Amino acid sequence: MSVPALAAVEPPLSRQVAAQAAEWFVLLHSAEATANDRRAFEGWLARAPEHARAWQRALQVSQRAGHVPPALATSTLQRPRSRRAAVRALVLLMTAAPAGWLAWRHAPPQWTATHATATGEQREVQLPDGTRIRLDTATAIDLAYDATQRLVLLRAGAVLIETARDPAGRPFLVRTAEGTARAIGTRFVVRQQAQRSHVAVLEGAVELRTREGGAVQLLQARQQAGFDASHIEAVAPVDAGAGQWARGILAVDDMRLDAFIAEVARYRPGLLRCEPSVGGLRITGAFQLADTDAILQNVAQLLPVAVRFRTRYWVTLAAPEKQR
């Protein structure tokens, strides 16, 4: 369903209330939001009808933009300067439509990408050398090919890459905020998380190198490891579901429910969260990512949880009333 033109159907928002809603939106989409933050947000939301209208506007802006743009992506929100920039960008889009959308089209380079996907969208890109890149939900990449290298800059999200042989012998590199992965004739997944990157090798091998300190690790087929800017974590076997998202499937084996819901939330616009009282439940199965409503219904059938819709864009998993 298309989103109506915001300025045509509603009076303008006050910039003060829009800024409050934008602050909440950025906080709740970061890795720093706590249970107390969410309770405080719910109190703010219920305090005035204008607050609810501003929050709905923020969600509409996010939906119309297609995904949380790179400036609002989780991996950048840990930096205060990036968070301030994200709030300013969202306030502009909430209060200045359609001028805000014109500004978005002329945004600074760090807000744009060579290729990007919306929330819930996946797309495949074939590069001139024959390499195939599958972009996961809310993913943004830049390409930098020259005479000496083939470079993919992963700004947000995750990619599954099947490299092609290059007649010129140029190395194939994927650079994240924390370091670089160099492909060695391979098929592999790279994911940008909050102050952390993760690589899973499905075929071939990949060399990891951190941005600071130069720590190096060679991953062989069916191995994975996470790393930050200076440290590479212990190598582990690839998860059973690694790369299954590229086929539209979220496959999990004995995963905590809160971690599972965090994964589902990446494919669903709005706010999806899990209360701590049920977060420790475990779930196993294969779920179709194209229908997150069906995933939530399945979870309610598999586990003793209730799925509560405050709005289409604000959903909470909690303990059933009779167990509270």
Q: What are the sequence ranges of the domains in the chain?
A: 6-111, 115-237, 248-323
Backbone angles phi, psi at 170, to 5 degrees: -75, 135
- Of 64, 71, 63, 65, the closest CA to residue 26 belongs to 71
Q: Reply yes or no on whether the pLDDT at 165 is more than 50.
A: yes
Whether 115-237 and 248-323 share one fold: the answer is no
- Structural tokens at position 68: 């949380």
Q: Which CATH architecture has domain 248-323?
A: 3-Layer(bab) Sandwich (3.55)
pLDDT band at residue 315 using 50, 70 and 90 as cut-offs: very high
CB 234, CB 215: distance < 8 Å: no
DSSP 85-152: HHHHHHHHHHHSTTHHHHHHHT--GGG--SEE--TT--EEEE-TTS-EEEE-TT-EEEEEE-SS-EEE
Backbone angles phi, psi at 55, to 5 degrees: -65, -40
CB 216, CB 235: distance < 8 Å: no
**Residue with the two structure tokens 């592999």:** 188
What's the pLDDT tens digit per position in 145-160? 878 889 999 988 999 9
Q: What whole-number distance in Å separates Cα of residue 264 and Cα of residue 262?
A: 6
pLDDT band at residue 56 using 50, 70 and 90 as cut-offs: confident
What's the pLDDT tens digit per position in 63-110? 555 444 444 444 444 455 566 777 877 787 777 544 444 444 444 333
Interhelix angle 80-95/49-65, nearest 10 degrees? 100
Q: Which residue has the higher pLDDT, 153 or 46?
A: 153
Q: How many CB atoms lie within 10 A of CB 23?
A: 18
Mean pLDDT for 237-259 is 93
- Structural tokens at position 129: 């050398």
Mean pLDDT for 25-44 is 80
Q: Which CATH architecture has domain 115-237?
A: Sandwich (2.60)
pLDDT band at residue 9 using 50, 70 and 90 as cut-offs: very low
pTM over cut 0.75 = no
- Letter string b/e over residues 203-231, b meaning 16 or more CB atoms within 10 A of that residue's CB: ebbbbbbbbeeebebebeeebbbbbbbee
